[in-house]
Structure 1
Amino acid sequence: MVGRSVPAVVRALDILELFGHREALSIPEITSLLGLPRTTVHELVNTLVQRSYLSPVPDHSNRFRLGVELFHLGSTYAERLDIAREGQAVAAEVAASCGETVHVAVLDGTDVVYVAKIDSTASVRMVSAVGRRLPAHCTAVGLRLLASLPDERLAVLFPLDEKLEGLTRRSITSPRTLRRRLAEIRSDGLAYDNCESNESVCCVAAAILSTGGEAVAAMSISVPIVRWNDKRGAELASHVRSGADELSRRLGHRV
C-alpha cells in the first residue's frame, strides 16, 4: 500500500531533480521553474546544502549544484547492484571449490541483508535466504562488517546498557562481549559464527572491499557442525579469503 506523500519531501526531491538537466541553478531560477514561494525554496535549499545534497558553486554563492552526498548515495547503490550480480557469480565459484554453502551480505543498520547465496550440494537447513535480514551480531558476515565500523558508530547501534537479541543459546547478547569479539576480528581479519545463528551450523567470513578500501559487504562459507573441525575451518578460511578478494577485485579494489 502506498502511503500519503509528504509535501516538503516532494518539493525537496523536485528541486534535486531539476539538476538532472542543469549544472547549476539559483534560488530565483528554482522558484520560477517549480512555481514555489521564494521563502520555501530558500529554506529547502539551505537544508539540502546543510546535508551536502547541494553545494554552493565556488565564487558564485548565489548558485548551487549537486553535492557530494548524492554521489555517495549513487555510488553505494551502484556498488550494491554490482555486489548482488558479481557476488552470485563469485559465490558459485567458491561453492564449487569447497562444496559448501556460500553467502554474500551487506550491512543495514544492525542487520545484515543477504544479496547472494549458493547452496551446498548437501542437504543443510539454513536460516538465510536472498533478501532475508538477520541480526548482524549473530552472523559471521555481520560480525565481519560490524568490525569495520568505528567505535562511535558501534556505540550508537549497540548501547552498552541494552541487551542484544539472540538467535541461539550461543548468540552474543552482551554489547561488551560484542565489543571484545569485534576487536578480535579486526586483528585476525576473519569472523566466525560458532552456531550463533543456527544451532547446527558454523561459518567463517571475510570482508569485501570497495574501490576506496571500505568494507561494503562480506562473504561467508557455512558448514554443518558435523563437518567442522580445525583443519576444515582453516581450509574454508582460505577459500573465503580468496573469494572475498576476487569479489573485491571485481568491484574495483586493488588487493
Structure 2
Amino acid sequence: MPNGGSDCCGTCWFNSKNNGEQGYQGSEKEGVVICIIRNLEIPDPFWTYCANHPHHNQNKIDLPLGPVYINDGYPYSRKVWVNPPDNEEIRLKLLELLEKISNEPEFRYPSETDLEEEIIKQLTALKEIRAIEGLKRIINLDIEDYRNQKNFIIRNKSIIVGQAIESLLEITNGEYLDEVEKFINYGIEINSMDNYDQDNDNFAAIRYHLVRGLKHCESTKAKGLLKTAINDPNNEVKAFANEILNKKNEC
C-alpha cells in the first residue's frame, strides 16, 4: 500500500497493467508500467501521481490533465516530474471542464492533487485568454455555505475561487484588479486580531491567492492592497504580502 496516497499510477485505470480498471491488478507484476494516455513509462508507479487518477477523475477523461508528480520525500509532498502536454484538444477540454466547476458540495479525496485546481493551474500556465470569462464566473460563485464548514472531506470551494482570482490576475497582467480587490478582507470582515482563529478561517485561501496574484499587477492600487494585507491576521497571507510588497518597492 503506497504511503504517499492511493491516488497513484499503481492503482490507476490508465496503467497499462490494470486492464482499464482501478485497483491493484498488475503493477507489481514483471515488466514496464506505461501510462496509456501519456505514453509515458512509470518507473515507480506507487509513488507517481496525476489528476487523471479515478480518485480525482471519476468521468474517466482520457486526455492528460496537469503534470505528472512524484514523491518529494517525507512528509510525502509532491513535485512535478513531467509537465503536461499542450495541444488544442487538451486546451478545449480544459475550458470545457472549467465551465463545469460549480459551488456544489463535493467529496474531496485527501491529496495534494485535485482535478479542479489542476484545470485552473494548467490554463494559467498556458496563459489561455479564453479562460477569462470562466474564471470570472467562478470568482462570483456563492460560497457563503463554506464560511463555517467543519467537514474537511468536502472540498472547500473558497480554494477554487481563490485560485481563479490569482489566475485571472496572472493571465491578464492585473487587468481585472478592480473586480477582485473586494476580496482583500474577505472572511475577516468582523474579526480582529484578538478573536481571530487561523485554523477556522475557511476563506483565508481567497486572500492568499489574491495577494499572490498582486505580483502580476503593476499599479498603485496593487501596492495599496498589499499594504492592507500585511496586517492580515493569517500568517501565510501576511508573509506573502510582505514579500511581494518588498519586491515591488525594490523596483
TM-score tier by shorter-chain length is: under 0.3
Greater fraction strand: 1
Q: Which has the higher contact order (CA 8 A, sep 6+)?
A: 1
Task: Choose 1 or 2 for highest CA Rg.
Answer: 1
TM-score by structure 1 length? 0.24
